[in-house]
Structure 1
Amino acid sequence: MKWANTIRAAVATLAFATGLGATTAQAAKLGYPEKEELTFGFIKLTDMAPIAIAYEKGFFEDEGLYVTIEAQANWKVLLDGVIDGRLDGAHMLAGQPIAATMGFGTQADIITPFSMDLNGNGITVSNEIWSQMKPNIARREDGLPEHPIKADALKPVVEKYRAAGKPFNMGMVFPVSTHNYELRYWLAAGGIHPGYYAPHKGDISGQIDAEALLSVTPPPQMPATLEAGTIYGYCVGEPWNQQAVFKDIGVPVVTDYEIWKNNPEKVFGITKGFAEKYPNTTVRITRALIRAAMWLDDNNNANRPEAVKILSQSHYVGADYDVIANSMTGTFEYEKGDKRAVPDFNVFFRYNATYPYYSDAIWYMTQMRRWGQIPEDRSDDWYKELAAKVYRPDIYEAAARSLIEEGLASADQFPDFATEDGFRDPQTHFIDGIVYNGHQPNAYIDKFPIGLKSGEKL
């Protein structure tokens, strides 16, 4: 495709200018890391696992990197730390590098050479809300609920609360988080309007015309906020959905795997300036993270119990082993006692999970436009060009090729770099049946019954 070839050429030029071009051409001849002592940030979620495993299994040290890993209070503190240089890189929401580069919330050139995982989130409601939803949910022969549970079952509950003059409050972790967009997607697919943003008018609440009011709550605080009755439900990553089950305060009703099968989740974010100043270090970080992701998925997840033990430590996720294992080892518990096999709930390497696809970035931007965070129409090329500024498969390819040449990985474990254009095939596994084609973002946005369309502006 003409556009893909143009982007590939532009990326190759940029890679050469930053010192990455030589690494791509001769992948095995890696230079020494320009910066050896590094500090990485993370939020206490199981999908930070590649960073923890790269540290604990010595993959960073193999690259000559001496890494300190620090938990951060929330996503804003984490992003600010990367921007101001307190952190050299971090486990980030996929929307954060995109929004920063775009100038939504803050302005900074953040890039990602590595996608950290697929899936891993869920939507949980309080026991009280669950009891009101249950009459609206079909049952299997064994009496257990049919899955996926759609927001259609929640809609009468929301309508009842609104008729009584009660706001229906729900939590998500950050305005540009996957969780925000997944919760909005699920609600809207069930006919519940989650509200618009109007940053050009100074309204960043995201609650314009909302039938369900979404607000920010840090992930580890989700269960306590639900238990206090401040919110009636939330969308968050693990282990904070399973924590609600263990504490008997809520019921996870749907996973993001059921909303969008094998959806991209977190990324590893660094500044563009860091990649330009330290190109060898950047490739070596990516190599270590790829090896960690491979280890996490190796031999049909055989290493997951060891990974759970590592993550349960207080300086990583800090939840009980059993809580983390409930999802990390291939199962997921919905209503208490209703544990089902979900082998792909957490995916770290298979299905090309670590490759930074342009189409993944573009999907996030379509949802930003749908809900008003991008207030005006943009051309399809605008979406593609912004994606190519943020997602850096050239760096990923340099790292992967060097691993292949050293015998630490095989070519069949990665995309075919000779033909890969950065776009997944059209994706069909959404809860509302709408097909996503990353080459046609505007046509995709216009398919949704609820959300801004072409030519619309608040």
Structure 2
Amino acid sequence: MNWKTKFAQQLVKPLLFTLGVSASLTVTAVNAEVGFPEKEELKFGFIKLTDMAPIAVAYEKGYFEEEGLYVTIEAQANWKVLLDGVIDGRLDGAHMLAGQPIAATIGYGTQANIITPFSMDLNGNAITVSNEVWAKMKPNIAKQDDGKPVHPIKADALKPVVEEYIAAGKPFNMGMVFPVSTHNYELRYWLAAGGIHPGFYAPHKGDTSGQINAQALLSVTPPPQMPSTLEAGTIYGYCVGEPWNQQAVFKGIGVPVVTDYEIWKDNPEKVFGITEEFAQKYPNTTIRLTRALIRAAKWLDDNNNANRPEAVKILSQSNYVGADYEVIANSMTGTFEYEKGDKRAVPDFNVFFRYNATYPYYSDAIWYLTQMRRWGQIAEDMPDEWYKETAAKVYRPDIYAKAAQSLIDDKLISASEFPNFATETGFKAPQQHFIDDIVYDGTQPNAYIEKFTIGLKQGDKL
């Protein structure tokens, strides 16, 4: 029975609705205050990474359809193609790097008004190095009683290796997935915390390489190509999402040395991006797709990840991630394998709902902006208020709150599993769990930028 049939059944219930006024679209799944979807047929894009899971689950578990949305899901070749598809309307929305809507809004790269009402996940990335580099790093790493490395492994252990390569005239090349990706900023953060300069951008001078003054040279490599590029020796390491770190372990070509959970505990990762125009033109559709994604995220984390094996089976399909079940399960089911045979419990490697993971916090957006400024993608100083205003243009907790409240009203999710919308400011309390112990307070972005030894400071220009 589709949603239209269910809705027709409601017609016999007098006083439940008036034609032209918002009404329930299904018996169980839609709050009476959420109106008809203005656009029913939608196409969403994604990149083949495990953190696209909320989209796949919303489709496979019928959450989109229960909202009256008939969705087509299509893998994209790379992040630029995906972003362009949302901007030109070929895609109605997409799994996006958290930095993409922010960069588009401030005009770094492509200028467009992209917003997000939904944060897709926390954590989920790692940094992998080649076997050769790992062998050179190991003597610099403390050992546990069982002989295995002490984690987290800091870039301090990599620094003498980088210096050795530079002294031999060999540039130390590393891969990340996109200039405004979480992976770029996490890799830069980890390297800089260990005293390795990852380079500056100078877009105002036409230099978008990000390699000015760099000791480690970072460049873009699409996620599925990371392992083969490492194996070919073109790069010596990379930062990427799953399953492409675990793939290196399974193929025996590299070793993941640190997860982003260890670089910044419970860091925001991907978002669901749509154009501002879409949200304005189709407000009910926007709320409904957000509802479906929230439900999918909750399903993914329910009962201490009890649904993850089923989720892995879904993701292993060729139309989604397409990697082997065992490779995806290695991180999605609460463990992570570093050096081959060194599998450790990491229950929060992928978080989709708990810890308010789906809420679009302004402070998350501001963190990305601080890193853009730190590395020169934002060429000049900006006042704190600019950071806050920019975050509020992109991250839309108002839309999220409407979707969440309707799920509460429908008794599908309890209010206790969401932030308190009456008091929520959109700013997390100061966050202390970074690999360099620097505290991040999203209400004071300029003061935060000043704390770093490596990176642009106020008044610095390239």
Range of TM-score over shorter length: over 0.9
Contact 2:54–2:296 (CA<8 Å) still a contact in 1?
A: yes
Deviations 1:372-405 (A, max 9, x none): 0001000000000000000000000000000000
Contact 2:23–2:35 (CA<8 Å) still a contact in 1?
A: no
SS of 2:329 mapped into structure 1? helix
Matches within 5 A, 1:109-120: 109-120=113-124
For 1:147, the equivalent position in structure 2 comes to 151
SS of 1:344 mapped into structure 2? coil
Matches within 5 A, 1:97-136: 97-136=101-140
Which among 206, 209, 229 is matched to residue 233 of structure 2?
229
Contact 1:28–1:403 (CA<8 Å) still a contact in 2?
A: no
Q: Distance in 2 between matches of 1:29 and 1:371?
A: 45
For 1:393, the equivalent position in structure 2 comes to 397
Q: Distance in 2 between matches of 1:232 and 1:359?
A: 33
SS of 1:438 mapped into structure 2? coil
For 2:3, the equivalent position in structure 1 comes to none
Q: Distance in 2 between matches of 1:60 and 1:396?
A: 16
Q: Distance in 2 between matches of 1:411 and 1:29?
A: 17
Amino acid at match of 1:81: G
Q: Distance in 2 between matches of 1:166 and 1:319?
A: 33
Q: Distance in 1 between matches of 2:461 and 2:99?
A: 21
Which among 307, 315, 318 is matched to residue 314 of structure 1?
318
Amino acid at match of 1:74: N
For 2:363, the equivalent position in structure 1 comes to 359
Deviations 1:27-66 (A, max 9, x none): 6411000000000000000000000000000000000000
Which among 350, 356, 374 is matched to residue 370 of structure 1?
374
Deviations 1:212-264 (A, max 9, x none): 00000000000000000000000000000000000000000000000000000
Q: Does 1:257 align with 2:239?
A: no
For 2:286, the equivalent position in structure 1 comes to 282
For 1:7, the equivalent position in structure 2 comes to none
Matches within 5 A, 1:163-178: 163-178=167-182
SS of 1:111 mapped into structure 2? strand
Give how far 1:269 is off. 0.0
Matches within 5 A, 1:46-445: 46-445=50-449
Q: Distance in 1 between matches of 2:230 and 2:252?
A: 11
SS of 1:402 mapped into structure 2? helix
Q: Distance in 1 between matches of 2:60 and 2:312?
A: 12
Q: Distance in 2 between matches of 1:134 and 1:405?
A: 54
Amino acid at match of 2:266: N
Deviations 1:188-215 (A, max 9, x none): 0000000000000000000000000000
Contact 2:288–2:403 (CA<8 Å) still a contact in 1?
A: yes
For 1:35, the equivalent position in structure 2 comes to 39
Q: Distance in 2 between matches of 1:139 and 1:368?
A: 35
Q: Distance in 2 between matches of 1:28 and 1:404?
A: 12
Deviations 1:278-331 (A, max 9, x none): 000000000000000000000000000000000000000000000000000000
Q: Distance in 1 between matches of 2:164 and 2:255?
A: 20
Contact 1:27–1:399 (CA<8 Å) still a contact in 2?
A: no
Contact 1:171–1:231 (CA<8 Å) still a contact in 2?
A: yes
Amino acid at match of 2:439: V
For 1:15, the equivalent position in structure 2 comes to none
SS of 2:358 mapped into structure 1? coil
Give how far 1:22 is off. 13
List 4+ stretches of structure 1 deviating above 3 A: none
CA RMSD of aligned residues (A): 1.3
Q: Distance in 1 between matches of 2:245 and 2:76?
A: 20
Contact 2:23–2:32 (CA<8 Å) still a contact in 1?
A: no
Q: Distance in 2 between matches of 1:82 and 1:417?
A: 29
Amino acid at match of 2:243: P
SS of 2:210 mapped into structure 1? strand
SS of 2:71 mapped into structure 1? strand
SS of 1:204 mapped into structure 2? strand
State the structure with more CA Rg: 2
Amino acid at match of 1:416: N
SS of 1:39 mapped into structure 2? strand
Contact 2:31–2:410 (CA<8 Å) still a contact in 1?
A: no
Aligned residues: 436
For 2:13, the equivalent position in structure 1 comes to none
Contact 1:93–1:176 (CA<8 Å) still a contact in 2?
A: yes
Q: Distance in 1 between matches of 2:168 and 2:131?
A: 20
